Amino acid sequence: MDIHEYQAKEILARFGVAVPAGALAYSPEQAAYRARELGGDRWIVKAQVHAGGRGKAGGIKLCNSEHEIHEASEAMFGQKIVTHQTGPEGKGIYRVYVENAVDFTREIYLGFVLDRTSQRVMIVASSEGGMEIEDISASRPESIVRSTVEPAVGLQEFQAREIAFKLGIPAALTQAMVRTLQGCYRAFRDLDATMVEINPLVVTADNRILALDAKMTFDTNALFRHPQIAELRDKSQEDPRESRAADRGLNYIGLSGNIGCIVNGAGLAMATMDTIKLAGGEPANFLDIGGGATPDRVARAFRLVMSDRNVQAVLVNIFAGINRCDWVAEGVVQALTAEPVDVPVIVRLSGTNVEEGQKILAQSGLPILRANTLMEAAERAVTAWKNDRKQMMRAV
């Protein structure tokens, strides 16, 4: 789960990371008022969206007066910001963060991620901050500092000092850098984060270490331990299909294809998408209905897939172990009976109670295409989709 910059800064500040003074606004008038509250003579107005690259897309503006703040925020509210991370559909701007502008002399990149190879928290830092880590890695790989944290003891002060020395932090600011590193690590560890990123972390003109930007991502499976973090979720920044699926306990990721997938098990779902590609089609989604799916759950999954207007065929692929094929068949029949669809539906069942499941499909009287193998199912789905598209074109 992602959160906004202002939320990440509030969290990191509680763990001892220094951040500039700032305030949230939901309207241009409120943004101007926030600037008066903060004081000063220069402010930064930042669009709050779950995406990087906001500056290049016009989502960050330097303002020298309340009038400029009003104009800048008014131009942002209700608009879509499109960056390399949002895709062409963009993200809506519904709140802005007003922050005192800070003069700085250096920019540093700082990131904490879970390195699955070493099974440790990995600290990635660079003296070349202010740009994406991918760009830093390509242009200045020698500037990157990496350090893994031993989970039994956590980030020790000597280790944090070593990172500070490698980044060329002045001796007078070493202890401040140590506090920043240790604060980020504690936030990462204590809140079950999967990423903490500060870019840039700056050395200010008056010799302070400040986090000018911050991102945090959390392990969704651990949110039950952190209700205060779960409350920070902003559904307006999520794919509505994925948000709706998550609320119903389904694992769904929307894609750009046109063959909808309903599968049990993440591995089988990946294999199904690969087989659709191999057969010449494009999957419209990843959807894992999980084990022990009831007919109602299958029906909900079906309605979710059909909510995507790009779907022109549906492939249901079930290998039943914990699941039961008759339950899945009942769910498919239930969904198609309640809300008939005008696209081909292909069902492949295998495993527990497969004979009963096939019988339910056959006796339903519904136009369901059946297949015995995954390859056959994918080929039938692609063929049915192509034939259906040709018929639609002839009709037009």
Q: Give, to the nearest 10 degrees, the angle between helix 240-247 and helix 295-306.
A: 170
Question: Can you tell me the distance from the alpha carbon of 270 to that of 249, in angstroms, rounded to the nearest whole number?
Answer: 19
Phi/psi-derived region of residue 101, left when phi > 0, alpha when psi is between -120 and 50, beta in every other case: beta
Residue 199 labeled ligand binder: yes
33 in catalytic set = no
CA distance 37 to 60: 20
The DSSP string of 14-79 is HTT-----EEEESSHHHHHHHHHHH-SS-EEEEE--S-S-TTTTT-EEEESSHHHHHHHHHHHTTP
Contact 180, 209 (CB under 8 A): yes
The answer to the question of whether 264 is labelled as a binding residue is yes
Report whether 107 belongs to an annotated binding site. yes
Strands 259-263 and 313-320: parallel
CA 48 to chain centre: 15
Interacting residues of 29 by C-beta distance below 8 A, sequence separation 6+:
70
Residue 198 contacts by C-beta under 8 Å, 6 or more apart in sequence?
Answer: 12, 17, 109, 110, 111, 180, 184, 211, 212, 213, 214, 215
Residue 200: asked if its preceding bond is cis (omega within 30°), the reply is yes
Q: Which residues contact 304 (CB under 8 A, 6 or more apart)?
A: 241, 244, 245, 248, 250, 252, 287
Contact (CB, 8 A) for 76 and 93: yes
Catalytic residue among 5, 128, 197, 242: 197
Judge whether 197 counts as a catalytic residue: yes
174's tokens: 């070493």
Run of H or E including 380: helix 374-395
Cβ within 8 Å of residue 239, ≥6 positions away:
254
Measuring CA to CA, how many Å separate 118 from each of 113, 125, 134, 229?
11, 18, 21, 27
55 annotated as a binding-site residue: yes
* Nearest residue to 45 (alpha-carbon basis) of 60, 57, 66, 24: 60
Which is catalytic among the residues 5, 6, 97, 109?
A: 109
Consult the annotation and say whether 46 binds a ligand: yes
Which residues participate in catalysis according to the annotation?
109, 197
Annotated binding site: 46, 53-55, 99, 102, 107, 199, 213, 264
Annotated binding site for Mg(2+): 199, 213
Annotated binding site for ATP: 46, 53-55, 99, 102, 107
Annotated binding site for substrate: 264
